[in-house]
Every structure is written in structure tokens, then in C-alpha cells.
Amino acid sequence: MLEVRDLHAYYGKSHILQGVSLGVGAGEIVSVLGRNGVGRSTTLKAIMGDVTPRGTIIFKDEAIVGLKSYEIAHRGVGYVPENRDIFPTLTVEQNLILGVKSGKKAARWSFDDTFRLFPRLEERAKTPAGVLSGGEQQMLTICRTLMGDPDLIMIDEPTEGLAPQMVERIAELLRSIAERHISILLVEQKLTIAMRISHRVYVMGHGRMVFEGTPSELSDNAAVRKAWLEV
């Protein structure tokens, strides 16, 4: 589905991504773990074209480096940034409608799917999105992206700042997404959630991947966890 090889990206003269390589298979949940500031969010932005990348990015057998963000989105990549980016003056329903791509038929995710998983959003469908709680806004942002029927969705820190109950709801949503054969590339700070729902994990440090494997393999690798994850 997605293959990234030797990816480099800069902010000014700062060399942030220093040869990142990763892959995501069809219907797979892959998490990128690591401490703050190592380049995890920049990796997603580079794939999405929000940061100018150097290297190779192949999505569904097509090279996408150099394409505009909207062109990448129309090829089937969804992106949920860390800051959520809802439209606060529009209603919940209007925010969801904005995610629908014209010309798409038989999308894998619908209003009914959103409202079945999150009845609270249905209750507040006519409410301005800006008055929702942080957790509700996060659910809205993810579901709005799903309304565009992506083949791959990249999600940056979806559980940041959320209460434990809401974290569990987000984990449930991510599993539901994968069951629809939508691949997920997840940047997540909460190790327990990522280890529980992911098929594979990468650990990132100093702008490159320092580990790739299954959650159980990472659990067994105390050296990697101590060096790159534990505070």
C-alpha cells in the first residue's frame, strides 16, 4: 500500500528526517513510536506533501513525491493532523459533509457508521463543532477524513490529552477502520494503545527508524525501549 525509502526533510537548515524508511500493507495498522521531537509528525507531513521531501514515496504503486497535498488526498491518502483542524463555526454535520469527495461511490464509511460508533456526535449534529469537547473534536476529525473514503489514513497523536475512557473509544474506532480494509499509519505517544492495536511498530530516534517489528518483539527488546522510548 505505502512504501517510503530513504526519506529526508528539512526545516530551514535543520535536517529533520535523515533517511526514514517504512511500509504499510493493505488493511494494516502500523504505529510510529518515539520521543517528542524525533521527526514522527514530520514523517506524516512529508508523506502528505505538507513538508517538501527528498527520497521515495510509493502509494499504490505510484510515486507521489512532488505532488500537491490535495493531489495525494485524491489518490486515497487521508491525514488527521495533531491539531485536529475542525471548522469551529460549522456544525458537526457540515464538518462531516466537507470530508466527502465528489464522484465517490459506495464509500466504506458513512454518516451511519460515525453516528453508530459515536452517538454523541449524532446528538450534536446541528451544533457548532467549536463547542465540542477535545475528545469529540478528535472523533469528528477522524470521521470527517474517513468520509473521503481513503485507502490509507495517517493519524497524528489521536489520544493526546484525552481522558482514559475517550482513549478507549479512539482505539475502538481505529480497529473499526482497519476492519474496513483501510490501512492506518499512526503516530502515538501512548505505548500501551499502540502495542495493543498495531500489527507492526516502528521506533524512531534522531530522524531515522531504529527498530521495526511486531509489538511482541518490541516488548521483548528492553534495550530499544530503554534507549528510545522510556523517559
Which amino acid does the sequence have at 226?
A: K
C-alpha to C-alpha distance for 33 and 187, rounded to whole angstroms: 6
Is the pLDDT at 231 greater than 80, yes or no? no
- Reduced to 3 states (helix: H, G, I; strand: E, B; else coil), residue 91 is strand
- Reduced to 3 states (helix: H, G, I; strand: E, B; else coil), residue 92 is helix
- Reduced to 3 states (helix: H, G, I; strand: E, B; else coil), residue 59 is strand
Is the pLDDT at 106 greater than 70, yes or no? no
Residue pLDDT, tens place only, 201-225: 999 999 999 999 999 999 999 999 9
Which amino acid does the sequence have at 128?
A: P
pTM for this model (two decimals): 0.92
Residue pLDDT, tens place only, 147-187: 999 999 999 999 888 888 888 888 888 988 898 899 999 99
- Could you state, in order of their start, the residue ranges of all structural domains in the chain? 2-228
pLDDT on residue 125: 94
C-alpha cell at 178: 482497519
Least Cα distance to 134 among 177, 109, 110, 165 occurs for: 165
What angle in degrees, to the nearest 10, is found between the helix axes of 164-179 and 134-146?
10
Region 51-78: mean pLDDT is: 95
C-alpha to C-alpha distance for 170 and 157, rounded to whole angstroms: 11
Region 73-91: mean pLDDT is: 92
Is the pLDDT at 131 greater than 90, yes or no? yes
pLDDT on residue 103: 63
- Reduced to 3 states (helix: H, G, I; strand: E, B; else coil), residue 76 is coil
**Which CATH number, 3.90.550.10, 3.40.190.10, 2.60.40.10, 3.40.50.300, labels domain 2-228?**
3.40.50.300
Region 100-124: mean pLDDT is: 81
